[in-house]
Structure 1
Amino acid sequence: MDQAHFTHLFRLYISGKCTPEERNEFFDLLDANKENDLMISLLDRLYSEVRMETPSATYVNNRGEIDLAVRPATPVKVIPFYKQRHTVRWMAAASFLLVLGAGAWMYSAQRQPAPVGATVQKKEKPALIAASTAIRTGNRERKVLVLADSTRIVLNSGSEVRYPDQFDPQRREIFLEGEAFFEVSNAAAWPFVIHSAGGMTTTVLGTSFNIKAYPGRSQAIVSVVTGKVKISKDKKEISTLIKGQEMHLTMLTGEVTQRNTTGMNAAGWQTGDISFNDEPLADILKDLQIFYGINIKINSPGLANLLITTGFKKNTSVDSALDIICELANAKYARNQDGYVVY
């Protein structure tokens, strides 16, 4: 392993100046050397340097523990995420680096441009608590956040999460636009509620789950990896999911479908891959717009609601992805000056 090159990529990443290709190379090297003692020693050194240069209220240290430099008013129990020696440091590194990367691009949602292809609308969002933080991701960007209550959130591209600077002692509430994977602690004793697009509310009764609820999508999807969640729409309970179950909610009609799934499907996007399970073509193309940062339109209304199951690796080109999708949909696509059109 070229330590100088890895250090260079590390510095580029946490500064927010690396290209998508450099970011992929960085995490590929991290993955390939996760059992390498030289990598572990190098990360120890880089951790120390960055911690001195970048003070933060919350971060994940190189033992895989949540470190709160500023202690919250509500006591927080420090919980190690992983227990194996090598795995601890490597997985903690991945989380910590993404948290630092988030800091490089973190700014107010009011100043962040909408993802390519998104429609900007003026609307009021529910004010959970006056003092709050909003974190947003751009196209082809993911961030890992660790909240003061030990909740871990992986935020997908083109998404926003808002949370109070201090949770209510009786109830934790946050707001999500887009897609995120959650690992929530103490859910039974301290309720955790997620408000998302279309009046959907997810109440956490377990541990880890995924929510996809981008504004403008025809479907919202909730997938449970471990534990249990309860889903409501407009204050009416519509589904309760347990480990290995997934719910698709059609926003316009309120139709609910429930199926068995796997944790790998629910969380595959965290590694940079993208997958779809019986999702409308219109929604898939919206997701691809965010994933690739381009415009894709449908010129055939009859294709919009066609359900498709497929998936792509992170290095798949947009043309290859559209080749596969159009073959499944018996459709065609063309490139124009604005991006792509499917017909």
Structure 2
Amino acid sequence: MEERIKYLFKQYLNNTCTRKEFDEFFSYINAAAHNELVRELIKKAYEETGQPGSSLTYVDELGNLVITKPDWNKPADAPIKRKRSPMLWVGVASIAILLGGLAWLNFQLRPMKKTEHTGVLAKKMTGRSEYRYMLLPDSTQVWLNAASSLEYPQQFAEGKREVYLTGEAYFDVKHADKQPFLIHTGKVTTMVLGTAFNIKAYPGRENIIVSVSRGKVRVNYNEKEMAVLTQGQQVKVSNSINAIIQKKQAITEAAPWQQGNLQYDDETISDVVADLERNYDVIIQVQSDAVARERISTTFRREIGIEHALKVLCNLTDTRLKLENNKYVIQ
């Protein structure tokens, strides 16, 4: 197994692995999270074969690991070509956990700014079609989705841990009995002690969505308690200033985007389209306001690509898709 892992690592770093080899390589990465032997082999392979400056894996100017994905449209045995990744952040997170000493975990802070709430804050951001793993000062783990930002202090104050999220993120909060963890997203505040959950709170969305995969979460709107969630529950809180509507329901997965699934439950076409724009870094126009307000429930695999996803939307809304001047138009 050791030699096989070394071989796959070299193939990956040399940009020559096939689709089959690529899938095998990341199956080892994922297995390492709960298998000490595989974890040690992965670490050893990285130390022996890791190549700073590789065209496939490198550290950007902020100290974050950047990793690319294959072109899934190529034949299974064709070498993989370089492309920006929307899929491999799970592998990045696994490597981060396994190889905690790597430079990319020692990220540099963005320029600081002062707020009236917590003093000096650092800010981490992702662009469209970009995904990032972070480790906060208290060892809370955060996976930041595309086009999102998180602001947090360099050191948490005694008695309370507070962060500010714009966009979407999955949190695995380090437990601390007397130091609750608060995530502020506009007028909605989510409070926990130690749990794992997902928050989707992009600007302009109809709802802020909080989903719990482990533990217990309390969701407040303007300091008024809206819901207490436990494992497998989700709440949707209206973003509208004119109405505070909540919808509490059971779910099977708190953060489907982590597994490459773009999942929508009774959401407007305009919200779905905005999400696709962030994930695929494209421009999409819905010509009809009536269509934009239609509600759908559907799930895409991110790897199917933007055109396939939009054709599914068109089938659901009885519309047509057109590409003009690098912009997708639903008409």
- Shared fold per TM-score greater than 0.5: yes
Letter in 2 for 1:254: I
Whether 1:146 aligns to 2:166 is no
Contact 1:98 1:144 in 2 (8 A): no
Q: Name the counterpart of 1:236.
A: 224
Q: 1:340: how far off?
A: 1.0
Whether 1:33 aligns to 2:28 is yes
Contact 2:283 2:327 in 1 (8 A): yes
Contact 2:5 2:41 in 1 (8 A): no
Unaligned stretches of 5+ in structure 1?
13-20, 60-88, 111-123
Q: Secondary structure at the match of 1:283?
A: helix
Letter in 2 for 1:179: E
Output the CA distance in 2 between the equivalents of 1:106 and 1:26.
33
Q: 1:33: how far off?
A: 3.2
Q: 1:103: how far off?
A: 6.5
Q: Secondary structure at the match of 1:279?
A: strand
Once the two structures are superposed, what CA deviation does each residue of 1:163-203 show, in whole Å capped at 9, x if it has no partner? 1000011100000001001111225431100011x311111
Q: Name the counterpart of 2:311.
A: 323
Q: Name the counterpart of 2:251.
A: 261
Closer/same/farther in 2, CA of residues 276 and 199 from structure 1, 3 Å limit? same
Output the CA distance in 2 between the equivalents of 1:316 and 1:223.
25
Closer/same/farther in 2, CA of residues 47 and 137 from structure 1, 3 Å limit? farther
Q: Secondary structure at the match of 2:119?
A: coil
Whether 1:202 aligns to 2:167 is no
Whether 1:296 aligns to 2:284 is yes
Q: Name the counterpart of 1:281.
A: 269
Output the CA distance in 1 between the equivalents of 2:323 and 2:304.
17
Letter in 2 for 1:28: D
Letter in 2 for 1:290: R
Closer/same/farther in 2, CA of residues 194 and 27 from structure 1, 3 Å limit? farther
Whether 1:165 aligns to 2:154 is yes
Q: Name the counterpart of 1:180.
A: 169
Once the two structures are superposed, what CA deviation does each residue of 1:22-51 show, in whole Å capped at 9, x if it has no partner? 9x999734323346978853532425887x
Percent identity for Structure 1 against Structure 2: 30
Output the CA distance in 1 between the equivalents of 2:157 and 2:10.
41
Residue among 191, 198, 203 paired with 1:215: 203
Q: Higher mean Cα deviation, 267-276 or 137-146?
A: 267-276
For 1:34-73, list aligned pairs within 5 A.
34=29, 40-47=40-47
Unaligned stretches of 5+ in structure 2?
54-58, 65-90
How many aligned positions are there? Answer: 286
Letter in 2 for 1:33: Y
Output the CA distance in 2 between the equivalents of 1:330 and 1:304.
12
Closer/same/farther in 2, CA of residues 227 and 41 from structure 1, 3 Å limit? closer
Residue among 104, 107, 120 paired with 1:131: 120
Output the CA distance in 2 between the equivalents of 1:292 and 1:303.
21
Residue among 239, 249, 254 paired with 1:251: 239
Contact 1:246 1:261 in 2 (8 A): yes
Q: Secondary structure at the match of 2:137?
A: coil
Q: Name the counterpart of 1:69.
A: none
Output the CA distance in 1 between the equivalents of 2:286 and 2:276.
13
Contact 1:95 1:144 in 2 (8 A): no
Output the CA distance in 2 between the equivalents of 1:321 and 1:248.
24
Once the two structures are superposed, what CA deviation does each residue of 1:205-233 show, in whole Å capped at 9, x if it has no partner? 45111000011212111101111111112
Please report the TM-score for the alignment, with normalisation by the length of structure 1: 0.71
